[in-house]
A and B are shown apart, each in its own frame.
Chain A
Amino acid sequence: AQKITQTQPGMFVQEKEAVTLDCTYDTSDQSYGLFWYKQPSSGEMIFLIYQGSYDEQNATEGRYSLNFQKARKSANLVISASQLGDSAMYFCATSDSSYKLIFGSGTRLLVRP
């Protein structure tokens, strides 16, 4: 069975600095996807970034990048130039051939002014 581990329940970062949110995964599948979602205090789940297991390049979307290390089974999210609006819960998730997403427990990020 697949599993996502997010070991940082909470993190602080100073505005305009970069921050890395950790995510490790466990899967026996050869093909899989890795996703990050943001959940602000308003409650909605916002898709941020995707990485495929066979993608050779690390995914980037604006200020978000995914540091994918396949051998270590890690898929860390890097947010550059943090903004106050980045304060939220962040969830890492993985997919398999059954379309399902398995989510981690999340990391709460607080950006300090």
Chain B
Amino acid sequence: DARVTQTPRHKVTEMGQEVTMRCQPILGHNTVFWYRQTMMQGLELLAYFRNRAPLDDSGMPKDRFSAEMPDATLATLKIQPSEPRDSAVYFCASGDPGTSGSRYRETQYFGPGTRLLVL
């Protein structure tokens, strides 16, 4: 049963520290997404990649967030320096266009999330 994996599952850190979250997409999926979920804002798209190339990172605070995909099996989201307002659950998802290959049919499968608390 193929799944998206994320590490760490939980992270508690102090303000100013660097946080790195990792994601392993489902093998064969070409699109990888990073979302942030908070009670106030709901689910927000931060960035996404297609065939490892960044397509859109307009949802990310550029001064402190960075997202990369060094290879097809690893996506990273880094926060440096972290702030208390970054406390949230961060989800990674990978997209499966299905047999039709249509982008409208691309189903996103989510990882379990990283629950981040910045003190």
Instruction: Spell out A's residues near B (CB within 8 Å).
Output: 31-33, 35, 37, 43-47, 50, 52-53, 91, 95-101, 103, 105-106
Contact = CB atoms under 8 A, between A and B. Distances in A.
B105 interface: yes
Interface in B20-53: 31, 33, 42-43, 45, 48, 50
Given A91-B43, A103-B43, A52 B104 contact: yes
Contacts, number: 59
Interface string B80-108: 00000000010101010000001111111
Nearest to B113: A43
20 contacts: A31-B104, A35-B107, A35-B108, A44-B111, A47-B108, A47-B109, A50-B107, A52-B102, A52-B104, A53-B104, A95-B106, A97-B103, A97-B104, A98-B103, A99-B55, A100-B33, A100-B45, A101-B33, A103-B42, A103-B43
Given A43-B112, A98-B55, A99-B50, 12 more contacts: A33-B104, A33-B105, A33-B106, A37-B110, A43-B115, A44-B110, A45-B113, A46-B110, A99-B95, A99-B103, A100-B33, A101-B108
Interface of A is mostly: loop
Interface range for B: 20 to 34
Contacts of B31: 99
Nearest to B97: A99
Interface of B is mostly: strand
Contacts of B104: 31-33, 52-53, 95-97
A102 B56 CA distance: 14
Contacts of B115: 43
B51 to A, nearest CB: 11
A103 B33 CA distance: 14
A47 B95 CA distance: 11
A37 B37 CA distance: 14
Nearest to B95: A99
